[in-house]
Amino acid sequence: MRFAASEDEIMVEDMLDRALREARDRAPHVDGHAPRPDPDVLREQLGSLGLWGGWLPEAAGGADGGPRLLMTLARGLGRVPTYHGLIGGCVLPGAILAGTARQDALDLTARLVAGEMPVAVAVLEPGTRWDFEMPVTQAEPDGDGYRLTGVKSHVAEGATAEVFLVSARDGAGVSLFLVPAGSDGLTVSPFPATDGTTWAMIRAEGVRVPASSRLIGPDDGLAALERAFTLAAFAAAAESLGSCEAALTQTLEYLRTREQFGQPLATKQALQFRVADLHVDIEMLRSQVLGAANALADGYSGRARSDVAAAMALAVQTGDLVGREAIHLHGAIGMTRELGVGYHLLRADVLSRWLGSAEHFRAKLMDLEEHAQ
Amino acid sequence: MNMHAGNEVAFRDEIADFCKKNLDPEVRRLSDLGLPVGEAALLEWQTKLVARGWGAPSWEEKWGGSGWDMRTLFIFEEEMAAHGAPLVGTFNIKMIGPILQAHGTPEQQAHYLPKALSFEHAWCQGYSEPGAGSDLASLQTRAERDGDDYIVNGTKIWTSGGHLANHMFCLVRTSREGRRQAGISFLLIDLETPGISQRPVHHFYGAHVFNQFFFDNVRVPVANRVGKENAGWDIAKSLLEHERLFSARHTEARRKLGRLERLSKDVRIHGRPAIEDPQFRDDLAKRKIELRALENATMRALERLVDDGGIGPFASVLKLRGIEVNQRLDRAIVQLLGPDALPAQAAWEDGALNAFVPDEARNAAESRYWWRGPAIAGGSQEVQRSIITKHILNL
């Protein structure tokens, strides 16, 4: 498998860049803040271009683009500050739904591919960080269905979802249930995260669902979650790569034009060496994201999973560093929402808080390699 | 033979098999520990390689080369390093051989290439001077014409392995006009020539790698000049493109990681193998991840080399990070060993440490010290950063 972008990938990159640029140019300036594209319009446009869910298999309505297309998409989105919702609204639910052969799941997937966000995945629980292996949320048999009780925290795209994919303990295993947002006993509490995106807390108090709502599980529920979160981490690493590229490009442009002490900042060796080091870090992240994409394209193996863990560990570390440096190298203007370069630090933080810290992914890599032996 | 996806595995197996059958286990052990294996062992290994047709793979076939493409050459060197083969005669095989094939006269080629291949000649490199390090173009050793000879006066320093060599390829100043780079010539010097003296320059921890050479009215035939007069700078710069991939030093790092992983099962922290210690595990994971990214970056560069014929300033990215990765691995090994990294090289020579200290501790501290050097040599890390700033980031 090659590293360099194929002709198709370059075409996709161009389409994506054009769509994002146009969306940004159309976006209103509010209170002098840096403009953000309207996410609904953007998703619809990317859906109609076949880009949004193109990474999904054809059987699920996608274009069989696989991890390479997902990487291109997520990286492109990372380059332009926007509340795109790709990972929470498309990658996580898409990976889970496409793994089933059920018609209702495929109907939902078709809507994902078009750029809608009808499904949110509710897996994290209070006080357990990223350990989703042992949910406290319980599914108890109740007549010809189940009764769900528990709290799910930090549900991405949960504020607007029509239906939730809720993980719950089901006998000795873990199952995933499709639960409509309007169900009796289900409380959805939206909240904003630090990067401006909207999330939700969910409380289920004896929510009754029919037997058919159990989409996956109890034996294969965890494996499905593991697979979906691996793909989410991969997309997040690719998004971070795009984010780092954009932050560095913007910073370099500023160094070339901003003058202090009678000279452009770009002439200062102390600053040159800082950006040179950032470039090296970004090249390493790019290399590992490409390596992970190629490994995943060869199949969902232990090696592919550890390559994704390595990519995300680097992405968290590099995203944080580049985000901080981009602010600092801009000086005071870097602190402002008016300029907006700080978005990259906000986003790097949110991706890491949500999907796992660098330490988390390093521990995962070690475990995966030991089990491979 | 050239590589296609299908026969790459077979080729790697063939190299592994050759190493298993021909490499003395003691030599492999020493080279895995990053130690010199000795002149006799190097000669023996090179003789076996030459017999197999692998003595100088990057050379033209008529001089004993293989005719392989760049991808095959890369795989060969990577696999050789992975199986503990010592690095042989870098100056002979990778420097002077290719330079003579590209720029030498037919007489120079016929005289020097066979002897470089067989190691009858051992070459060293005379570039740096006390006043010319990273700023190599400021070199002052001068060569003045006197009939059919040059008279060479001056000094060369940081000459790695000069005390084991009998020939030096050398940059000398033949003109003081125009650009500094335009007044430099490339000379081949027999180190037996009268007027040459040499002294060791010991590394701060005691090893003898470097030397200084003094040239006092040394007569070198004009016939020993490679290329035209004052054209030496470009000749010295024309390192083979595929060698630039190895500026990542990823094969050495891979061997260090192997050493660290073996130690992590033997060394105990709080009574348990180190590999079970959370802090050590996190540190090991960092080392593994940065090496994996570096290897992927090297494969990207190889792909670019095959596509475009060159990797340009990306070599600086590889060098900068490759050296850091190696240095961090060395530090991790020493930190894991703790007091076992205390004995000096000499302590291993009389067997006093056997059964007390793991063999893997040998040369751990010295390797860390030696690896301060590559960050200074061949364009310091700061020179690489300047190249990235200027040629990639366009600042």
Q: Are residues A242 and A342 in the same domain?
A: yes
Same domain, A179 and A137: yes
Contact in structure between B93 and B50 (CB atoms under 8 Å)? no
- Residue for token digits 């048999």? A141
A360 & A289 share domain: yes
Query: In this predicted model, what pLDDT tens digit does every residue of B46-93 receive, in sequence order?
Result: 999 999 999 999 999 999 999 898 889 888 988 998 898 998 888 999
Domain boundary among A217, A240, A274: A217
Closest-CA distance of chain A to residue B331, Å: 19
What is the predicted pLDDT for the residue at A26? 84
User: What are the sequence ranges of the domains in chain B?
Assistant: 5-88, 123-233, 241-392
ipTM: 0.95
What distance in Å separates residue A162's CA from the closest CA in chain B?
40
| B114 phi, psi to nearest 5 deg | -60, -35
Of the candidates B123, B121, B195, B131, the one whose C-alpha atom is nearest the C-alpha of residue B159 is: B123
The distance of Cα A175 from the centroid of its chain, to the nearest Å, equals: 23
Among A90, A117, A144, where does a domain finish?
A: A117
CATH number for position A329:
1.20.140.10
Examine the domain organization and report whether A186 and A204 are in the same domain: yes
For B212-216, the CB contacts below 8 A with 24+ separation are B212/B155, B212/B156, B212/B157, B212/B159, B213/B126, B213/B155, B213/B156, B213/B157, B213/B159, B213/B162, B213/B168, B214/B155, B215/B141, B215/B152, B215/B153, B215/B154, B215/B155, B215/B156, B216/B153
What local confidence, expressed as pLDDT, does residue B286 receive?
98
Q: Which residues of A touch B394 (CB under 8 A)?
A: 252
Same domain assignment for residues A203 and A243: no
Whether A1 is covered by a domain: the verdict is: no
A237 lies in a domain? yes
pLDDT at B70: 82
CB atoms within 10 A of CB B90: 15
Residues A231 and A322 occupy one common structural domain: yes
Shared domain check, A244 and A304: yes
Nearest C-alpha in A relative to B313? A280
Interface test with A, best of B291, B292, B295, B382 (most A CBs within 10 A): B292
The pLDDT tens digits for B307-322 are 988 899 999 999 999 9
- Structural domain including A200 reads 120-217
Q: Do A4 and B299 touch (CB under 8 A)?
A: no
- Note whether A191 and A233 are same-domain residues: no
Quick check: B293 and A256 CB within 8 A?
A: no
**B123-233 CATH choice from 1.10.287.610, 3.30.390.30, 2.40.110.10, 3.40.50.300:** 2.40.110.10
- Number of domains into which chain A is organized: 3
B213 exposure class (CB count in 10 Å sphere: 0-12, 13-18, 19+): buried
Of B285, B286, B393, the CB nearest to A279: B393
Q: Which of A277, A284, A362 sits opposite B297 (nearest CB)?
A: A284
Q: Is residue A84 part of a domain?
A: yes
Joined tokens for residue B170: 């050398």
The CATH number of residue A167's host domain is 2.40.110.10
For residue A124, being part of any structural domain is answered with yes
Three-state DSSP class for residue B343:
coil
CA distance B77 to B75: 6
DSSP B1: -
Cβ of B296 within 8 Å of Cβ of A277? The answer is no
Which of A293, A286, A294, A277 is CA-nearest to residue A241? A286
**Residue A218 pLDDT:** 96
Same-domain pairing of A253 and A138: no
Chain A's closest residue to B299, CA to CA, is A3
What pLDDT score does B5 carry?
58
A285 and A325 share one domain: yes
Measure CB to CB from residue B317 to each of A280, A288, A363 and give the nearest one: A280
Of A256, A287, A365, the CB nearest to B293: A287
pLDDT of residue B389: 97
Closest by Cα among A282, A197, A192 to A240:
A282
Q: Which of B296, B304, B386 sits opposite A291 (nearest CB)?
A: B296
Q: Examine the fold and report which residue of A117, A149, A173 is the final residue of a domain before the chain moves on.
A: A117
Measured between CA atoms, the residue of chain B closest to residue A245 is: B393
Burial string for A227-244 (b: 16+ CB within 10 Å, else e) reads bbbbbbbbbbbbbbbbbb
- 3-state secondary structure (DSSP) of residue A122: strand
Tell me the two tokens of residue B177: 């006009």
Decide: B10 and B1 in contact? Cβ < 8 Å: no
Best mutation target, A7, A274, A362, to test chain B (most B CBs within 10 A): A362
**Chain B partners of A273 at a C-beta cutoff of 8 Å?**
382, 385, 389
pLDDT tens string for chain A (373 positions)? Answer: 799 999 989 999 999 999 988 888 888 777 777 778 889 989 999 999 999 999 999 999 999 999 999 999 999 999 998 899 999 999 999 999 999 989 999 999 999 999 999 999 999 999 999 999 999 999 999 999 999 999 999 999 999 999 999 999 999 999 999 999 999 999 999 999 999 999 999 999 999 999 999 999 999 999 999 999 999 999 999 999 999 999 999 999 999 999 999 999 999 999 999 999 999 999 999 999 999 999 999 999 999 999 999 999 999 999 999 999 999 999 999 999 989 999 999 999 999 999 999 999 999 999 999 887 5
- The residue assigned the tokens 């500026």 is B247
A284 contact residues in B (CB cutoff 8 A): 290, 293-294, 297, 321
Which stretches in chain B have pLDDT values below 70? 1-6, 239-242
Q: Which fold has domain B241-392?
A: Butyryl-CoA Dehydrogenase, subunit A; domain 3 (1.20.140)
Asked if residue A92 and residue A13 are part of one domain, the reply reads: yes
Contact B255, B32 (CB under 8 A): yes
Quick one: which of A108, A119, A106, A111 has its CA closest to A181? A119
The Cα of B230 is separated from the nearest Cα of chain A by a number of Å equal to 33
Q: Which residues of B272-307 are buried (b: 16+ CB within 10 A; e: fewer)?
A: eebbebeebbebbbbbbbbbbbbbbbbbbbbebbee
